[in-house]
Structure 1
Amino acid sequence: MNLLSNKKLLYLLSFIATIIFSIIPGIGMKIDGTYRFFGFPAQWLGYYGDGQFSFEVFGLLLNFLVFSFFLILLNKILKKILEI
């Protein structure tokens, strides 16, 4: 059985990976003075202090698609390995 054949599971895991990798300091969280930027590989959230945020939809979408691609690729590799 293919673990990621369920699209909802794939989407959920991609979204969770996007959030987790975004908050890891040094990987997804970048600090520039008092500003904080979140996102890996693309920035999708910025915090400027005093409750001011910026949100970049295309950055979030790109991160989601990148993690979806890697999860599908990982799933195919594991499927090939486990068939042997």
Structure 2
Amino acid sequence: MSGNYMVVFKDDVSPDSIKELEARVTANGGEITQPYDPDSIFSGFSAKIPNTLISEFNSLVGDGKDNLIKYIEPDQEVRIQT
């Protein structure tokens, strides 16, 4: 099984580190559905991430110097009503 998630990286994470985690997603049967340009609001991606990788990715969330990910959350559609 896999779920749809949005992964947002800390500001100082290198593009190579992001590419490495994207490759881990695809190598384990997942799919990057939307990469986010680091020159825009934030760097990261939306992806179908296999359940086997979610705990590994969650271990990379936090404020420590070895933590690459700012947060992970389920990817969902957001609408604004006027």
The bucket for the TM-score relative to the shorter chain is under 0.3
TM-score, structure 1 normalization: 0.28
TM-score, structure 2 normalization: 0.28
Bigger relative CO (Cα 8 Å, ≥ 6 apart): 2
Whichever of the two has the greater Rg, that structure is 1
Richer in helix (by share)? 1
